Amino acid sequence: MKEKKEVQIDSSWQDTYGDMVTLLLCFFVMMVAASSVDQAKYEQIQAGMQEGLGKADVQRPIEMMMVELADDIQSLDASDKVSLGSDTQGVVLEFNGDTFFDTGSAEIKPSAFPVLKKIAATLQSDRYMKFDFSIEGHTSNRAFQNDKYPTHWELSAARAASVARFLQDRGISHSRMRITGFADNVPKLPNLDPFNEPIPQNQIQNQRVVIHIEPRVY
């Protein structure tokens, strides 16, 4: 009887198949990140894929901005005046209202100028030209008497506008900024205790200006 020839199966297709499955997985991961509109996460995934494809110079503008702003705040020992964080849209800067403004005033205190100048110098850099700024003014429910700003609405909006003007004077186009006055409607902490008495330390924290720095998606 003739010996049967051993049949050799070509398995080289498995390498191609494996690469295709990996690429599809990466594609769907990116789609999930984009659907949740988490810009920071999207940037990390995009940079990781580019590095995986052998690109050495991968840009991470949100991460870079976070590092630079953190250095600015630390160099000025201003962590009690400015807090830095992030959300699904980008970078978040929060300025303590009592540090930057007198009670019932929307004029920035001169003592706050060094911090704002340092931060503005970083944000107006060409590498961040594709970022826009949403500037929010918040007050507490603390009462004040002022003919210029009769309610918390006017005061919170004016404080946001003051910060926007400061940034504009230092090179950031007004077309990249928008302002909103929230009055005392979005407190970080309760203004009153269960007995309806004011909580001064909470009221101080509720008075703030918040800047959301977001990469353009168009």
CATH number at 61-215: 3.30.1330.60
State the chain's mean pLDDT as an integer: 84
Q: State how far Cα 5 lies from the chain centre.
A: 67
Tell me: pLDDT of 112 over 70: yes
Which tops the pLDDT comparison, 152 or 57?
Answer: 152
Q: Which residues contact 36 (CB under 8 A, 6 or more apart)?
A: 88
How far is 179 from 86, CA to CA, in rounded Å? 19
Q: Please give the share of the chain, as a percent, with pLDDT higher than 70.
A: 73
Concatenating the DSSP letter of every residue in 140-209 gives -S-----SSS-SHHHHHHHHHHHHHHHHHHTT--GGGEEEEE-TTSS-SS-SB-TTS-B-HHHHHHHSEE
Percent pLDDT > 90 in the chain is 67
pLDDT for the residue 49: 47
Q: What is the pLDDT of residues 55-98, one digit of tens each?
A: 555 568 899 999 999 999 999 999 999 999 999 889 999 999 99
Q: Domain boundaries in the chain? A: 61-215
pLDDT at 96: 94
| Cα–Cα distance for residue pair 93/104, rounded to 1 Å | 22
Highest mean pLDDT among 24-28, 95-99, 162-166: 162-166
Q: Could you tell me which residue, 37 or 171, shows the higher pLDDT?
A: 171
Who wins on pLDDT, 116 or 29? Answer: 116
Could you tell me the pLDDT band of residue 213, with boundaries at 50, 70 and 90?
Answer: very high
Query: For the packed helices 61-75 and 113-123, what is the interaxial angle rounded to 10 degrees?
Result: 160
The pTM score is: 0.75
The closest alpha carbon to 171, from 125, 203, 202, belongs to 125
Element (H, E) at 4: none
pLDDT, average across residues 116-135: 96
**Would you state the pLDDT for residue 26?**
64
Q: CA-CA distance, 93 to 205, in Å (whole number)? A: 14
- pLDDT, tens digit, 9 for 90 and up, residues 171-204: 999 999 999 999 999 999 999 999 999 999 999 9
- Secondary structure of 12-73 in the HEC alphabet? CHHHHHHHHHHHHHHHHHHHHHHHCCCHHHHHHHHHHHHHHCCCCCCCCHHHHHHHHHHHHH
Of 35-44, 117-126, 188-197, the one with minimum mean pLDDT is 35-44
Top pLDDT among 50 and 25 is at 25
